[in-house]
Structure 1
Amino acid sequence: MSDRVLVTGGTGYLAQWCIAQLVEKGYRVRTTARSASKSDAVRAAVSRAGVNAAGLEIVVADLLSDDGWSEAVADCDAVLHVASPLVATRDEDAVIRPAVDGTLRVLTAARDGGVRRVVYTSSCGAVYYGHPQRDSVFDESDWTVVGVGPMSAYVKSKALAERAAWDWHSAQGGELELAVVNPAGIFGPALSSDATSSLGLIRQLLGGMPGIPDLWMGIVDVRDVADLHIRAMEAPEAAGERFIAWSRGPVSMVDIAALFRDRLGPLAANVPHRRLPNWLVRIVGRFNTEVGDLVPLLGQRREATGDKARRVLGWSPRPWEDTMLDSARSLSDLGLVG
């Protein structure tokens, strides 16, 4: 069995932490980028985690093209398919097509290349949308109902891509094993100013946004999500399973703002106190795509559980407060706030 692991999307927020933790554990790591010009930046980002990234292999491959994928998976025991577009857009096809087609492209290459297991990064967006508000907790048996209720293009892309992955695996997977990780909102330190992903909300909060929207979210640390991917890659019992990555939630933006004001000193000087009414956020969302993606979340308090990952894989996420404080300090260290 090879000790080489492919991580797709090496320029990404989560992918860089997956690479760093794999290197630290002694794996030989290969990653993909859409351009060879990104190689030095990816190695520099991974090095910020305190590991030696000199041996990191980088191959050029794009989710929308077959080129490069057979070379990417060659001699790999496992693939962590982390790459997926996370952009605010009104063009759903621009997000859904690379998510769905890219996932099937990676799975096919992995099967044909003799890879043992693929761990696919889905989302809680594939778990709890399209359902009426409920008090019970969502778990791995729940699925988003696409087309029912408002949801962003990104949520649709994750729900459709994960369904497509399981359907493909059932019909065409052969000996390839599949496991899926469904993270809540991923926060925590970034390794590159170009890979801050969901930290945009934190950046806006620290930068003095005009008020605090009525948003509630599940929170999980990017480092813990990377750890769960590796556990799902290594554990025999993870094959054929979904694992929700959920540390705490729902946590409100109001609570996050209060935490920052209490613990971050001058860095939180611009954190707002007043709350934004939902009607105002909806109006702004008509003209601002990023804000528009938040509108379906206003006032929603969905709760999921990471108990399965804890029970089956021994996963132990850190407290949400540490995650959010590290998010803010990371943005400051990268020169993006403050």
Structure 2
Amino acid sequence: MKYLYVKPVFLWLSAVSVMFLGACTNEIPDTPEATEAISFSVPQTRAAIEGVNDMSAFSVWGWYDADTTPFAVFDNTTVEKTAGGWNYTDYVRYWSPGKTYDFYAVHPENVSNVNVNPQDGTITITDFDSSTAGENAVDLMTATNKGVSGDEAPVVDMKFQHALTRIRFSAKLADGLDGYSLQVSEVALWASKKGKMTFSDDKGIQWETEPYLVAGDNEEDIVNGNYDAYLYHFTSEAGELISTPINTVDPVQLNVEDKGDLLVIPQNMSETRPVLAVRYALSYGGITTSKMWKLFYLKDTPTNWTPGDYLNYTFTIGENNVYFSVKVWDWKDGNSGNENVDFE
């Protein structure tokens, strides 16, 4: 599993015999003032991640004197979580007294097309693809910590921020349908899946999505596959949605844990024009209707997808009408959509 959600991860780190992050050279300095190694260890995590594995690896970049003549300390260095803590496999690095360090990180470690610019303080990821969902969804996160003093050799706190939007679905019966049951067999979402992410201190995480989704007015065109390049598709048959009937006016989560989660590129509804659809059947007195599609054009809705948000779309289904509502939460449980990693 390659994504994290709901609860924060705190990784408390200290210098240990397995050396991790470091300074500017692979030679041990002669002066005692520069013998403090930068290393990772993870004695314990402060909170469990519900239903998914903890972070297993990320990539780190680092420079000192970034505002003058940047000197590279790390360059897309992979940091892996092992039984002994957070480790890397190349040479030991050391703090340099009198130097000021800037650190950057991207999770997971295998993200392509990453460019970190130490002089303007940006992280840019081009052609990011969020096509995979469920068990293979990728939880893209970024972190920075700037102005760290080499004199103090401190614990360096990296606060990771979710760069994507998490989406789930629920369904319920409309009021007045006593004795009815509802079966949702499919949920489909057409949206932009590729884009360019830029992180900066002043603007945070921003996305440019490409190509834009141009949804036709003919609902049959969409359902029948003309827009499959933009399609996220979840079914009860594949085990991504629950298969049990719904017979309550209270919302019931449709996504099966770990299989039906969706992490999407943040985007403006009026620009990319996503389309949401649900396929369902109603039963009453032993009679079940044929399965029906209901489509919703999100271009007219005010709720855009923003980094770190967790959206839940709820379908309310009646005999003659279906409508949806959306709630937005932070993608977290007590940590403002962030995951903390400390290293020293």
Question: TM-score surpassing 0.5?
Answer: no
Q: Which has the higher strand share?
A: 2
Question: Structure 1 length normalisation: TM-score?
Answer: 0.27
Q: Which has the higher helix share?
A: 1
